[in-house]
Copies of this chain bind each other. A is one copy, B any other.
Amino acid sequence: MTEGPTITTIAQRAGVSIASVSRVLNGLPTREDTVRRVMRAADELGYVPNSVARSLRNRRTDQVAFAMADIGNPVYVAMVREIQPMLKEAGYRLLIHSTDGDAEDELGVLRGLRERYVDGLIISPLRGVTEEHVRAIVAARAPVVVIGALPVGMPEGAPVDNVRTDSRTGVRLALDHLYAIGRRRIGFLNGPLDTVPGAARAAAYREALEALGLPYDEDLVEVGDFYRDSGARAARALLSRVPGLDALMCANDLIALGALDVLREHGRDVPGDVAVVGMDDTDLASVTWPTLTSVSLGSAERGRAAATLLLDRLQNGPREPRVTVVRPSLTVRGSTAVPGLPGTAGDGR
């Protein structure tokens, strides 16, 4: 495998020094004649600069990583879709880490920052930012944007920005809506409580019920995973325990899919017998039958915000940490559509 040409090869061919070659290729002021000779040699040799050598010298890799739990989750896909073009536009390549929600893996990514293979990182840690995460980030001294909750006690000067949504309000929006269409026995299918969204949504569910003057009933809550089959299992369990429930609040759209499967299986009409609300408002929500009312947590916006914050740091250097909050909103679709009631569509299901 013949090695490609380097600036040394070009220098020889053009009869100049490697310094001149480099200057020409980087557009630094050079005599017209030299420029021509170098350009000609470079063209003839089909020269392409070695990005690794350049990175070593320049101390930047022009690469950015995005670490998330699972690239199969439409939420993260939506983020990547926003992040990738923005980074490309700014001249950065994008690395993907799918950590499977494994805390060790997440830490590995953060620690990996010290290997300096990327200039910055966007991370969405499922299990939350621990003491150790923080230490790793500080030690890395590379800009990091965390999508999700950040602990209160971030040390001064850590190069960390934060993008978050307000899932508390999100859950609140959903329950208010369910209440408004007359539902009172509202089940809750949650994800693991040791994840950030899981914990937040559990608390939010309780709070929202209280605000509505509804009793909190442990029997109405089922905890599983953030996947479709897990959602189905949870829904089955919940339905057999509380056959009379009239609504299901699901901690994400995948869980809601599972719930819809089970409701259909049991011959329950949605939303007639049971209304269903998902969260994340993924592409799936407009595809299901009936289409799924879902709380949008602004995945695309969060992706954009994260990329914006990171690029700003990369391009303009250190500054005080920033936080961007994305407001949730409710998209009402068929799974809660009750004819004749305000704010709902009678068809569209």
Contacts and interface: CB of A to CB of B under 8 A. Distances in A.
A92 B20 CA distance: 36
B116 A52 contact: yes
Contact of A141 (B1, B63, B98): B1
Given A46-B139, A115-B50, A95 B95 contact: yes
A96 B80 contact: yes
A142 to B, nearest CB: 10
Interface string A96-138: 1110000000000001001111000000000000000000000
A71 B51 contact: no
A327 B116 CA distance: 42
A93 B77 contact: no
A318 B1 CA distance: 10
A220 interface: no
Contacts of A50: 56, 115-116
Given A93-B117, A115-B49, A139-B46, A80 B85 contact: no
Say what secondary structure dominates the interface of chain A.
mixed
Contacts of A48: 111, 114-115
B52 A257 contact: no
Interface stretch (A31-39, A160-168, A181-189, A282-290): A282-290
Interface of A: 1-2, 4, 46, 48-53, 55-56, 61, 63, 71-72, 77-78, 80-81, 84-85, 93-98, 111, 114-117, 139, 141, 257, 283-284, 287-290, 318
Given A4-B114, A84-B98, 17 more contacts: A1-B141, A48-B115, A50-B115, A52-B61, A52-B117, A56-B56, A71-B80, A72-B78, A81-B98, A94-B95, A94-B97, A257-B287, A283-B284, A287-B287, A288-B288, A289-B289, A289-B290
20 contacts: A4-B114, A46-B139, A49-B115, A50-B115, A51-B115, A52-B52, A52-B116, A52-B117, A53-B56, A71-B80, A72-B77, A80-B96, A80-B98, A85-B98, A94-B96, A94-B97, A284-B284, A284-B287, A287-B288, A288-B288
